Amino acid sequence: MQDNQKNKDLFGKVILAPMAGEGDYAFRASCKRFGADYLVSEMISAKAICYNDKKTPLLAKIRAEEMPIALQIFGSEPEFMAKASDFLINESIKAGTPCAAIDINMGCPVQKVVKNGEGSALMKNPELAGKIIKAVKEACGQLPVTVKMRLGWDASSVNVVDMAKTAEENGASAVCVHARTREQFYTPGVDISYIKKVKEALSVPVIGNGDIFCADDALNMFGATGCDAVAIARGALGNPYIFAQIKASLEGKEYTPPTPRERIEEALRETALRIEDKGEYAGIRESRVHLAHFTKSLRGSAAIRGKINFIDSFEELKEVLYSYIEDIENAEIA
């Protein structure tokens, strides 16, 4: 019998969803600073773990300040998924930063993943999905196993309620539902009515995901579906403040949005962490997309993004961004 209240307490109310290529440590740390209760890593290939891929350990590295965090894995073979789970759990314990859960990716829509029967392709193969979840749970023991899934492969094959039941029956401690089909990728239009149906069908916690870009979106998700928590992905890019905003709304408190200067300072703080983690060359380049998100709502953002794309050093980046923010502040005074 699962302790569902314990799991609800672990996940909290506001979760950072996994994002391949963008949900790195620096980004996660920023989200945690502004109130994310629970984090999920970028997706990690089970086969890459089993074959000792050199790039994979950084994806699985956990820092104390981002706990509790789940490590998300993807694959289509139960044996590899179980072996990878066992390895990740033990390595995180050895490092003194144990992962809070193993999350199984059944939602990634990209072709290079689904062509191997992984990610959202598993929505077409309930029997295999069940075997994977069961194998991972056996490898994890008492550690929670969660599953992130979509509504189905396409509009003609929506099967999320049955898949969620399969997940629970095979040991999942929670299910996160992205309210789109694989066919939709990330195009506008989520159908959160299915999250409500999943919530009504399961006894384990259900997490709602999809198109949460502000507190009102989150409140609507909670109200319309009865979900236990919400998971934010793209809505947190350049906007880690969304977690504080949602929490303030849930608690009936006033929320004060960041000033332009505070946005720039947080962008630089996040960039500094990325450089510390990956070196200046990679850190600056990988920060460009995040910096674009941080500045997109500010005056003159298009011009500053053009400059950022040609900057190679952190010192130059700081100089350009502080000059930019001073121009904004002077314009506001004038």
Q: What does the DSSP assignment read for 2-15?
A: --HHHHHHHH-SEE
Neighbours of 172 (CB within 10 A): 28
Query: What percentage of the chain's residues is helix, strand, coil (to nearest 5)?
Result: 55, 15, 35
- pLDDT class of 77 with cuts at 50, 70, 90: very high
Q: How far is CA 136 from the centre of its chain?
A: 20
CA angle, residues 278, 282, 283, in degrees to nearest 5 = 65
Mean pLDDT of the chain: 96
CB 266 within 8 A of CB 294: yes
Cite the residue boundaries of each domain of the chain with CATH code 1.10.1200.80: 260-333
Neighbours of 40 (CB within 10 A): 26
Cite the residue boundaries of each domain of the chain with CATH code 3.20.20.70: 4-250
- Rounded Cα distance, 89 and 103, in Å: 12
CB 205 within 8 A of CB 174: yes
Which pLDDT value is given to residue 293? Answer: 97
CB 68 within 8 A of CB 102: no
pLDDT digits (tens, 9 = 90+) for 123-179: 999 999 999 999 999 999 999 999 999 999 999 999 999 999 999 999 999 999 999
**Which CATH homologous superfamily contains domain 260-333?**
Putative flavin oxidoreducatase; domain 2 (1.10.1200.80)
The reported pTM is: 0.95
Instruction: Say which DSSP state 152 is in.
Output: B
Q: Per-residue pLDDT for 263 more than 90? A: yes
Which pLDDT value is given to residue 296? Answer: 92
Which pLDDT value is given to residue 4? Answer: 83
Which pLDDT value is given to residue 8? Answer: 84
The mean pLDDT value for 73-92 works out to 98
Which pLDDT value is given to residue 270? Answer: 98
- Rounded Cα distance, 188 and 206, in Å: 22
Which pLDDT value is given to residue 132? Answer: 99
- Rounded Cα distance, 273 and 169, in Å: 40
The mean pLDDT value for 119-124 works out to 98
Q: Per-residue pLDDT for 50 more than 90? A: yes
pLDDT digits (tens, 9 = 90+) for 283-301: 999 999 999 999 998 999 9
- Rounded Cα distance, 192 and 179, in Å: 6
Percent of the chain with pLDDT over 90: 93
- pLDDT class of 331 with cuts at 50, 70, 90: confident
Q: Per-residue pLDDT for 2 more than 80? A: no
CB 229 within 8 A of CB 204: no
The mean pLDDT value for 258-286 works out to 97
- 50, with CB counted inside 10 A (0-12, 13-18, 19+), is middle
- pLDDT class of 334 with cuts at 50, 70, 90: low
- 233, with CB counted inside 10 A (0-12, 13-18, 19+), is buried
CB 46 within 8 A of CB 75: yes
The mean pLDDT value for 61-77 works out to 98
Residues 6+ apart with CB under 8 A from 215: 242, 245, 246, 248, 249, 255
Q: Which CATH class is domain 4-250?
A: alpha beta
Any idea which residues carry the catalytic annotation? 108
Which pLDDT value is given to residue 7? Answer: 86
